[in-house]
Structures are given as C-alpha cells and as structure tokens.
Homo-oligomer: A and B are copies of this chain.
C-alpha cells in the first residue's frame, strides 16, 4: 500500500507559509502502515493540479490532497480530482442547505459561490467538517482512494485524525510503520555511521542517521502489526547501538538533552546554576523547559556585559581587563562564583563571541569557552565554531549541556 500527499496552494509555492499539514498527514500514514513515497506541492492551477493527480494515480494507491476546497474561484481541488478520475461533479443538496443555514444563522447574506463547497465527484463520499464550511472528500475508483482535506489548521487537524485516520487504518490492513529515534551527542554523523557500518543497510528495522545542530539523531524504523511488535523488533538493534556508542546516546524519541540532564540531576540529588554571557539566558531557558526542573535548576545570572560580570558575580575589574571577557580565566571565575552564590553542585558558565563582528576585545567570531565548576574542581573547554550568530549561540548551549551531562554521569 503506497501513498502520496499533494499540498495545493500558490502561497506554498511562493514560500509565504510553511506546510505543516503534510508532515502531520505523513505521520498519520506511517502510523497506519502506509508507505508515503512522494509529496508534491502545486499552485492553484487546474492543469498542473490535474497532471500532478494523474501522475500520483499511476504510482500510488492512496492520495491525500490538502487545501483548495474553499469557496473561491482559485479553490480547484474538487474540479481537478473529478477531471483526473474521469468523473463529473454533482451538487449535494443537503450540504448546500447546511451552508445556507450556516451563513444565515450568523446574519450573513449567502454568497452563491459558497455552493461550490457543496459539489463532489459522483464517485465521492463527503467527510463531515464540524469546524468549517467545506466538507472533505473520499473518492474511491479503480482501486485507488483519493482523500481531499481542507487547508485551515482548525479544520484539517480534526478531520485528519478523527475521520481520515480510521479509514487509512482500514486501508493499511493492520500494519504500522513505527520509528524510534536515538539521540546522540559528542560523536559526529560520519563517525556514528562508521561505528554502526554493518547496520546501515539492514531492513526491519532500518537505521538512518540525521545531523542536527550539535547532535546526531539515529532513526530506527520497523514495520509490524502493532507499535508494540515494532518496538520488539527494534529493541535488539537499539541495545546493540547503545552498547557500541555508550553514553553518547543521551535520549530517545522526543527526550531532549535538557530533559536527560534534569532527570539525571534529580536522580542523583544534585543541582546546577548558570552564569551566561554569550547565550544570554538560553541555557537557563532550555533547562527550565523541562517540567519539574526547579528541583535541580536553582537559578542563573545573565551577565552579558563586563559590568554585569563585576556587579552580579563579583569578578574583579583586573581579571576582566587582564584576560578579556572571552577568556578561560573569566569563564572559570564565573562558574565558581555562580556555584558558590547559588550553593549548587555544579555551576556552568559560558562566554564567547557569537559575532557578527569581532568586537569583543579582538577575540575571533566563533570562539566559545564553557566552564563547569563542581565538587571536583573547575574545568573549561574551548571551541571554535563556524556559522551565523544563531548557530554559534546554539552550539555553545549544546556544548555546555553536553559537558554538564558528562560531569553528572561521572559523579558518584
């Protein structure tokens, strides 16, 4: 059973909006055990929409269109499906009556173009849309099934999950395609692949690495009758990967690095505080994104300027002017000061130059120094990152969290 998704709308081709519905539908297809092999996007153009549907009908069993079901003349999905299926459109009087009632009960005059929303290919059933005016469609012809869903999010999401997903489950025939993501830090993508070389071409589960900012995600995908069976198929491969990569695997699925750290700290009864210069609060923001983080994260200082480093963390003017604000000495003094002030197991500090200009006492853009102060003393780590300001800040956060996790893991 092979499926594809067609998103309809000129605004998508102009890049004016980001398509978040297609990923939603892709996840639903996977959960129903249906392989989504293609996604296409076309504008509000009848010829190209018909051509795209025809190509899809040749290579896929299930087609899901998103958008183009509204009342205006550039809403062409209904017409295109009818043409591609060699069918005609007919009016559904009950739906037209509902539309009239909808507008009149709200005191609006009825614009005749709304009746376009009451049309359907003769082979189609309509799908109720409790959250909008245009019903969805499910068209069945020649062993192909074409679903048409409306574009507005408040209409698309409920229709996709409540009405279309049950029909797709039936079509999928019971199988599910289930993935599990292992999240890896401190080992680059090509190294992960080299270490796991003999798994890269295996089937059920497949193993695929994806580079993220400062980490690598490994996706393990299995096909089975149920999610639980798929997890059982994935388990031995997962165990082998964890054996080979050790502590570099910090989390699973949606578990973030900050989740992993907060959980570890709570388990060990340890605490942390932050002193952030370059990242401006980003490390605190990430640690506190974890529900219940107040048990482990005790607070932080955002000391973005030399003055703040002096007034808030009591650093001496001589230290800062002597070594410069982006220096190992300043980072270590900050991590020690915040640890002491907030009386935590660990103090993290980060300084650096995220750019765009090399205006911090001549230190190069991309230089980032992280220091961690803990029960066994103070360490620091120097990196030179490439990329834009946002990237350098994110990689700095990532490094600080990675090093903190390392220390928490080693502690007894």
Contacts and interface: CB of A to CB of B under 8 A. Distances in A.
Interface of A: 7, 9-20, 22-30, 36-45, 48, 52, 55, 70-74, 108, 111, 113-114, 130-132, 151-154, 157-158, 177, 179, 181, 188-191, 193-194, 200-201, 208-211, 213, 219, 221, 274, 276, 278-289, 291, 293-294, 297-305, 307-308, 311-312, 341-342, 355-357, 386-391, 393
Given A70-B189, A71-B193, A305-B298, A39 B23 contact: no
B157 A388 contact: yes
- Secondary structure of the A contact surface, majority rule: mixed
A299 B294 contact: no
23 contacts: A9-B210, A13-B36, A14-B219, A15-B23, A16-B23, A22-B41, A73-B200, A108-B188, A113-B193, A131-B391, A132-B386, A152-B213, A157-B388, A158-B388, A276-B284, A280-B289, A281-B281, A285-B285, A289-B389, A291-B355, A298-B307, A299-B312, A302-B302
A13 B39 contact: yes
Copies of this protein, total: 2
A377 to B, nearest CB: 24
A163 to B, nearest CB: 14
A325 to B, nearest CB: 10
Q: Which 7 A-B pairs have the closest CB atoms?
A: A280-B288, A281-B281, A281-B284, A15-B26, A299-B308, A15-B27, A300-B302
Contact of A16 (B154, B179, B302, B387): B179
